Homo-oligomer: A and B are copies of this chain.
Amino acid sequence: MKPIQVGLLGIGTVGSGTYNVLTRNQEEIQRRAGRGIEVTMVADLDTERARQVVGPQVKVVADAREVIANPDIDVVVELIGGYGVAKTLVLEAIAAGKHVVTANKALLAVHGSEIFKAADDKGVIVAFEAAVAGGIPIIKALREGLTANRIQWIAGIINGTTNFILSEMRERGLDFDVVLKEAQRLGYAEADPTFDIEGVDAAHKATLMSAIAFGIPVQFDKAYVEGITKLAATDIKYAEQLGYRIKLLGITKRREGEGVELRVHPTLVPAKRLIANVEGPMNAVVVNGDAVGTTLYYGKGAGSEPTASAVIADLVDVTRLATSEAHHRVPHLAFRQGQMHDMGVLPMDDVVTGYYLRLRVADEAGVLARVATTLADAGISVDALLQREADEVGGEGSTQTDLIILTHDAREGAMNAAQAKLQALPSVLAPIVRIRKEELN
């Protein structure tokens, strides 16, 4: 059988990784796929660079539309990124009857519904294993491996940049700004790191996992997104003393009869959980299903060849599925078109989670009682408490101290109200620091 012909749109880090791994492991991949897979055409604005990556038998063009227009191309791999031209090209490739493989989480988290519908109408596949957690086959695990389960919740470290920064802050007691600069120098953070450090990239990925887990449309616009820029080394240290680590988690939860939680924020996690021990730029996703219980998937979330590993897994799947009937395929979002539920994403006030609170208080009698009473009145119960000696916090003779509280699960709306009351207490001397907490058991 003639090899599957692949056209790459964009041959930067992931594109060259894809070309290199496909070439290097050609024989092994064909032994598995039962058919050759060949990159025969590449579109990149920098045709010079493209030619340096691929061999002379690959056609290099500057215009992506030449790839889409080529009737010999079976699969288009979109590695341009962003919502702009990438969206147009993906829709044009689908319209031209090409299967599409993409690593573009931003595009799918925002325009996924439109793109998947177009693909289903045309009978082609849009595969996106590389869009979430790089080389970890988490999309396949969620869509196929755990298909028996009613998924209950997912919590993942799905952004390597922020996990590298948090690991360094904890290990070396450094502040965010210092570590960010170092991460940029080492290539773990981009020159403009906004999408990473503000949690947007993680929210794109959480949105995709949420849709697959629960059979709902992608709803990125409903996601709550909070990054790590305001996180202080102090809170990482206090969390550690209480047996917790702080990780930037993408979380999505089924709330029976109510809706779905979808949120990204710094989160205290018990230090003994495996996911709390995922360090540096590594990724890990915890999935809880009603039958399987808690499972975890760990690996490199980015990089040339790890991401290429996911792109090629998709290419092999497409190769196998391309010739079978459309209705036998694994659905794009795990659930069949027409079988999606319109379960809404809950507003943040309705989210239920535990909390870490740090209060800078006057070191005087009765403060603890007033704080505890305020929480109790709001129906929020305290799980653990840490009161520092005033001397340790403010130096000798200090009249201020830190009060750290871990709460049991509470509704965020109730916590907002209670926090406002706490803030108004005369003994509370500075803005309260609040970080959410998940037990993940």
Contact = CB atoms under 8 A, between A and B. Distances in A.
A309 B274 contact: no
Interface stretch (A46-54, A102-110, A139-147, A368-376): A139-147
A140 B316 CA distance: 13
Interface in A288-321: 289-300, 303, 305-306, 308-313, 316-317, 320-321
A215 interface: yes
Given A274-B278, A336-B32, A294 B299 contact: yes
Interface centre among A137, A145, A328, A336 (most CB of B within 10 A): A145
A175 B336 CA distance: 53
Given A147-B316, A328-B320, A215 B291 contact: no
A21 interface: yes
Interface centre among A21, A299, A303, A331 (most CB of B within 10 A): A299
Contacts of A278: 274
Given A274-B278, A291-B306, A147 B29 contact: yes
Contacts of A323: 325, 328
Copies of chain A in the complex: 2
Given A296-B299, A324-B325, A328-B320, A141 B140 contact: yes
A147 B290 CA distance: 28
Interface string A75-113: 000000000000000000000000000000000000000
A28 B215 contact: yes
B148 A312 contact: yes
8 contacts: A21-B149, A140-B145, A147-B312, A148-B312, A149-B309, A291-B312, A295-B300, A297-B298
A150 B21 CA distance: 9
A308 B148 contact: yes
7 closest cross-chain pairs (CB), A and B: A137-B145, A148-B312, A295-B299, A324-B324, A135-B292, A31-B339, A292-B309
A391 B159 CA distance: 52
A404 interface: no
A25 interface: yes
Contacts of A308: 148, 291
A300 B292 contact: yes
A29 B310 CA distance: 25
A281 to B, nearest CB: 11
B291 A309 contact: yes
A295 B298 contact: yes
Contacts of A303: 293
A331 B29 contact: no
